[in-house]
Structure 1
Amino acid sequence: MTGLAGKRSADDETHLLNIMNANANCRELLILDARPAVNAKLNKAKGGGYEENYTNASLTFLNIHNIHVVRDALKRLTSCLIPRVDEKNYLKALDESKWLNHIQSILEGAVKAVFNVDTEKQSVLIHCSDGWDRTAQLTSLAMIQLDPFYRTIEGFAILIEKEWCSFGHKFGERIGHGEDGYNDGERSPVFVQFCDCLWQILRQFPSAFEFTQELLICMLDELYSCRYGTFLFNSEKIRLMDNKCDETTISFWSYVLEHRKKFNNPMYRPKKKVLYVNPSFCALQVWTDYYARSNPHVISPSHEEIQQPGGVDFLNEKKQLLDEIMALDETVHSMATGSAPSTSSSS
């Protein structure tokens, strides 16, 4: 319903009803509006709107803030870590940045979508003001938790191409490729924020992903370097049809697949189950391996153990222990059920 007069669109209401009817188990369509409720009402006063009083549909606002708030929050976060850390006031400065609060809001929204699809068998419609920023964050994170295919290197590449590149995230404006004014109001680290959210999931489920944080860091580096055509311009039309990036540039994913050993997770154990990330503020951490890597005084134990001599051996030993634990679990389960244990083993 748009504008102060609350104009309705019969076609839009029918479209949403058709989405719900496509799922035989869906009794009510859940609409997740990424915006804060106040922002949505302000947009309505300017001629926009939201799904109010739609039949067989419920609307939930996720209170995820816009690109301007996110940009300011990241500036405050990095000032806590670079060029030096104010040890006495670090936690206060981190809290005032509100960066982890924004990460929490996105993860909570993604978990809500996952729960309703997985447990409630409900269809979910996700949108924000335009559909190319917060929407892409939420759908991508939900799909990663729901489908183990997107936790593989190939699956992750398809996810980014589909949910971000094809659906029109404005990489050009958000990153500022080729622009002179670095203070441009359309710039915002939306994609960086998504990678941060994914890193939180990686940290909570270290054996569920085929890749490590090195892939995320490399992807963000190349996002700003412009060496590959994958993340150039504001839409697929401008990238492929107008500028022929598929013919004149190399895809970032070609590099990734050629050097996949660099990104392989030695602890990877494919899991078909759905992941439920813990979005609690107490479970979240600052991604210092990315934000503070230029500060030699900030040491990340997870990154350090890989870089030190014997770090790879440590990970291989951890991998072997996981194999033994899984084998023991299977033996115990077989003894309890009276079935023969499986003779196959993972390598």
Structure 2
Amino acid sequence: MENVFTVDGVVLNRRGSYILGTLILSRFHLVFTFNSPRTASAISSTLDASQQRKEIWVCYPIIERISKARGSTWLNNNFDNSSNGYGSGSSNNIDSKPSNSSGSHSRANSPALQIAGFDNYSASHIRLQCKDFTYFSFDFRNDLICCEVFNKMSLLITKSKIENDIRQLYAYSYVPNNIEQNLQVKGWDLYDPIEEYTRLGLLRRDGHNNKLFWKLTNINENYKFCTSYPKVMIVPSSISDNVLQHAGKFRSKQRIPVVVYKHHANINGNVIARCAQPLVGLNLQNRSIQDEKLIGEIFHSQELEKAFMLKSCEEEILNDNDTGYQAQQPQKNLLVDLRPVTNAMAQHALGAGTENVENYRNKKPHKDDDHYNGDGHQQGHRNSRQVDKIFCNIDNIHVIRDSLNKLTTVLNNLDKYSPNSQVNVSNSSTATTPTTTTTPITTTTPTTTTTTTTTTASASLQQALSKTYWLHRLSIILQSVDRIIKSIHLNNTNVVIHCSDGWDRTSQVSALAQLCLDPFYRTTKGFMILIEKEWTSFGFKYRTRADHGGCIGAVMKKEQKKYIAQPNGNESPQSQQQQQPAESVSSESMTMLENRPLSELSSSAAASVTSFFQKAAKAARDLKNSAQNGLSNYPDEGTDYPNDSLINKSSISFSSTTYGGSNERSPVFHQFIDCIYQIHRQKPTYFEFNTRFLKRLLYHYYSCQYGTFLCDSEKEAQQVYRIDKSTVSVWDYFNSRPNEFKNPAYTVRERGKAEVMAETKANTNTNAKAKVKKDDDDCGGVVFFNSADMKWWSELYGRSDEEMNGLSNSLDRKFAQMDLK
């Protein structure tokens, strides 16, 4: 460990506990060392002081917010108490050990937690709020030392942000342990898209295209078609690359509809496709024949494949009532817009929006229809395909960030006091104060704590938590997932999912739906593959959403101006480019749409509508510019500086500023993990991994110890930073200690009937008959859950179940455990 700075005589404060130790700032970690409190057994033992020395390690990227204030932490907390009539701040240094009325020493009435000889008034403290919901306060003897530590800590935390280089993160210096080094299958080799799509039945067993229905397209071989999409994409075999090129112009960021999943648990083999929002324009009349053809062929290919499966497995279907019923279901198709209706409509002002579902209902005759439709008749006319559209009302990244900020405010206030203290929280934005003294600050002890007080404090906390709307928004996501999995598994429905750009809400819902539909994705290995497929390869912006290297409140350098060398030797200033919002199209597109001539409209009413949207677009642009100008001027993550030959680096001036946070930061991945916890809690026997696996996964998403979650796209990971050559995969961490994350309640689910049939269909001998297991689970391993049954994940948030979910929920859980035994 490379020590950068060491300070002795620092007081660590956590949950009402105070301890004296040494603070060490290393290159990648903050380390606090201290002597563990001596118990009776420790005093009588022969252990020396070095053996009793303990350490607390905090990696810098996990720190979300840092603040500095005058006075000790004890003084600040005690001032809050005394100002509300709870206790007195008359004594600075008290070493007495008050006890309760019965004479026994209680945890709530522990020894006074002030440090003898420590002046609480001349001290200053630094408080850390971490992304894994841990909180630390460090007291320093004077403000001079505190300021020096604060500045050095800020520099170490934000180094990668200042230099705009993820290579400054710990993942590039981390050395794997022996077990991680000796793994036979490395985490980087775990996901093979060809192998996974073959398992799903979208490719043949020899890895080649299934020419009858689906194919692998090479249109994005070098990421030139879509920089945020993977190299390997599955589309209908009847679609040419030329059609894909034109269809890409109609979807935001060129993110066209591609197939990511085929359902095996029934005979229908319905598919899930994902994409970004369409660019329907201001007048709501823009359409793309190629986009309509692509989506139509996705629906049609599933229909043809189902007919083929019915013919090749006719005998087994006749002998099975459930499969026969599924085979008779008419095909349905569903366009799922995950946004609220108002948000989708607002995107029209930016040239985007949502589909006109009527354009996707027309069904053209297909040359193979008479061969596969089963009735022997050629359909020579255009008829209607059943296509519906729903909106799921999932809020955008900014609303979710605000919701989590409210939650962390409540938890931050709770963390100032002992876990056993009764805290009265009026709302999430106000300070919390204990109804009884959490730590003794006088030699007297509160005599009684009534049941009424406890109940009132608990109710107040529940009210504050509910006002964050965190669980409510999780429930909305799971409602969408529930609708999708029931449509696919029970109603022969194909689903096309999108939000705005197709990498936030789309990744959440698509991955959760597949998790519930396919038992393989609920195994440890399968879940890792699901993350790689639906999140990493399809361009979820890990670095941007987690704001790696950013810390709110940290002091960091900002670039004021940069001068570009001109051919005549002069220098001209160039303002730093601002980053585009995640859910908007380019400013050029907005300008083009604003300047669209009104003569294209067919009526005065249409002209009025267009005029309204033009004004809305201008207002949206002005609002965007105002918001961006209000942000702290720090180097954006996506800013690419010109070549060194064009920059006179000495002409770049810097000054210090306080980092205010990225407008693109949002707990999207956290929401996904919390949704899995909710399903896991309801259906624990369906998952091979335990909830500790989920908690550690979320921690390492922020820790930057491993390279899996450092980049914003597959292209960036493989071509720009080559993280597989320079860092260790996070899956090596989990695979090196499997017993730690194994769920003892897990029950293996057998494959469904249709999965066995799919194996036969994928063989080169397409006339072979499938052998169906008669003892398969009727549900095919599909998980159905209650989207209204939401509970706080108390272990993640570092609080007790009674605190966050109430006493009744805790008792219900204990009774359930007794029934299991």
TM tier relative to shorter chain: 0.7 to 0.9
Moved more, 79-88 or 232-241: 79-88
- What amino acid sits opposite 1:112 in the alignment? R
- What amino acid sits opposite 2:549 in the alignment? G
Give how far 1:287 is off: 1.1
* Aligned residue among 257, 263, 267 for 2:735: 257
Distance between the aligned counterparts of 1:83 and 1:213, measured in 2?
26
Give how far 1:298 is off: 4.7
Conserved 8 A contact 1:267-1:318: no
Q: Deviations over 1:91-149 (max 9, x none)?
A: 22222211111101100001111011100121101110011100011011111110110
Conserved 8 A contact 2:515-2:521: yes
Match of 1:338 in 2: none
Q: Deviations over 1:270-309 (max 9, x none)?
A: 23521111101xx11011111235x8995899xx9xxxxx
Match of 1:78 in 2: 408
- What amino acid sits opposite 1:190 in the alignment? V
- Report the 3-state secondary structure (helix = DSSP H, G, I; strand = E; otherwise coil) of the residue aligned with 1:229: coil
* Aligned residue among 677, 685, 688 for 1:207: 685
Is the alpha carbon distance of 1:202 and 1:296 closer, same or farther for their aligned partners in structure 2, counting shifts above 3 Å?
Answer: closer
Give how far 1:178 is off: 2.6
Conserved 8 A contact 2:337-2:392: yes
Distance between the aligned counterparts of 2:475 and 2:803, measured in 1?
23
Conserved 8 A contact 2:503-2:540: yes
* Aligned residue among 103, 115, 118 for 2:486: 115
- Report the 3-state secondary structure (helix = DSSP H, G, I; strand = E; otherwise coil) of the residue aligned with 1:246: helix
Give how far 1:248 is off: 0.5
Is the alpha carbon distance of 1:38 and 1:104 closer, same or farther for their aligned partners in structure 2, counting shifts above 3 Å?
Answer: same
- Report the 3-state secondary structure (helix = DSSP H, G, I; strand = E; otherwise coil) of the residue aligned with 1:50: coil
- What amino acid sits opposite 1:38 in the alignment? T
Match of 1:332 in 2: none
* Aligned residue among 690, 700, 714 for 1:222: 700
Distance between the aligned counterparts of 2:796 and 2:413, measured in 1?
14
Moved more, 199-208 or 263-272: 263-272
Is the alpha carbon distance of 1:79 and 1:296 closer, same or farther for their aligned partners in structure 2, counting shifts above 3 Å?
Answer: farther
- Report the 3-state secondary structure (helix = DSSP H, G, I; strand = E; otherwise coil) of the residue aligned with 2:698: helix
Is the alpha carbon distance of 1:165 and 1:19 closer, same or farther for their aligned partners in structure 2, counting shifts above 3 Å?
Answer: same
Match of 1:192 in 2: 670
Conserved 8 A contact 2:475-2:787: yes
Give how far 1:27 is off: 2.9
| Bigger helix fraction | 1
- What amino acid sits opposite 2:404 in the alignment? L
* Aligned residue among 9, 21, 25 for 2:288: 9
Distance between the aligned counterparts of 1:117 and 1:33, measured in 2?
16
Match of 2:797 in 1: 291
Match of 1:342 in 2: none
Q: Deviations over 1:306-344 (max 9, x none)?
A: xxxxxxxxx9x988x6xxxxxxxxxxxxxxxxxxxxxxx
Q: Which structure 2 residue ranges, 5 or more long, are not aligned? A: 1-278, 307-329, 362-384, 415-422, 426-456, 552-658, 750-779, 811-816
- What amino acid sits opposite 1:243 in the alignment? Y
- 1:58 maps to 2:367: no
- Give matches, 1:1-347, under 5 Å: 2-5=280-283, 6-24=285-303, 27-52=331-356, 53-54=358-359, 55=361, 56=385, 57-84=387-414, 85=423, 86=425, 87=457, 88-179=459-550, 181=659, 183-271=661-749, 272-280=780-788, 283-293=789-799, 298=803
Q: Deviations over 1:26-84 (max 9, x none)?
A: 63320111100100000012100211123232110000000000001011122233331
Give how far 1:23 is off: 1.7
Q: Deviations over 1:166-205 (max 9, x none)?
A: 1110011100013464521000000000000000000000
- What amino acid sits opposite 1:275 in the alignment? V
Conserved 8 A contact 1:62-1:109: yes
Distance between the aligned counterparts of 1:297 and 1:318, measured in 2?
20
Conserved 8 A contact 1:176-1:182: no
Match of 1:330 in 2: none
Distance between the aligned counterparts of 1:174 and 1:318, measured in 2?
42
Give how far 1:19 is off: 1.0
- What amino acid sits opposite 1:206 in the alignment? P
Is the alpha carbon distance of 1:182 and 1:213 closer, same or farther for their aligned partners in structure 2, counting shifts above 3 Å?
Answer: farther
| Bigger strand fraction | 2
Distance between the aligned counterparts of 1:123 and 1:296, measured in 2?
40
Distance between the aligned counterparts of 1:208 and 1:151, measured in 2?
7
Is the alpha carbon distance of 1:126 and 1:296 closer, same or farther for their aligned partners in structure 2, counting shifts above 3 Å?
Answer: closer
Conserved 8 A contact 2:550-2:661: no
Give how far 1:225 is off: 0.8
Distance between the aligned counterparts of 1:118 and 1:297, measured in 2?
37
Is the alpha carbon distance of 1:172 and 1:288 closer, same or farther for their aligned partners in structure 2, counting shifts above 3 Å?
Answer: same
Is the alpha carbon distance of 1:152 and 1:105 closer, same or farther for their aligned partners in structure 2, counting shifts above 3 Å?
Answer: same
Conserved 8 A contact 1:126-1:139: yes
- Report the 3-state secondary structure (helix = DSSP H, G, I; strand = E; otherwise coil) of the residue aligned with 2:467: helix
Conserved 8 A contact 1:33-1:62: yes
Q: Which structure 1 residue ranges, 5 or more long, are not aligned? A: 305-314, 322-347
Conserved 8 A contact 1:175-1:188: yes
- Report the 3-state secondary structure (helix = DSSP H, G, I; strand = E; otherwise coil) of the residue aligned with 2:700: helix
Match of 2:98 in 1: none
Distance between the aligned counterparts of 1:23 and 1:46, measured in 2?
34
Conserved 8 A contact 2:400-2:667: yes
- What amino acid sits opposite 1:49 in the alignment? G
* TM-score w.r.t. length of structure 1: 0.83
Q: Which runs of 4+ in 1 moved over 2 A?
A: 25-28, 78-83, 85-88, 178-182, 295-301
* TM-score w.r.t. length of structure 2: 0.36
- What amino acid sits opposite 1:82 in the alignment? N
Is the alpha carbon distance of 1:318 and 1:208 closer, same or farther for their aligned partners in structure 2, counting shifts above 3 Å?
Answer: farther
Is the alpha carbon distance of 1:318 and 1:155 closer, same or farther for their aligned partners in structure 2, counting shifts above 3 Å?
Answer: farther
Distance between the aligned counterparts of 1:297 and 1:27, measured in 2?
48
- What amino acid sits opposite 1:247 in the alignment? K
Count of aligned pairs: 307
- What amino acid sits opposite 1:110 in the alignment? V
Match of 2:381 in 1: none
Answer with 1 or 2: which has the greater Rg. Answer: 2
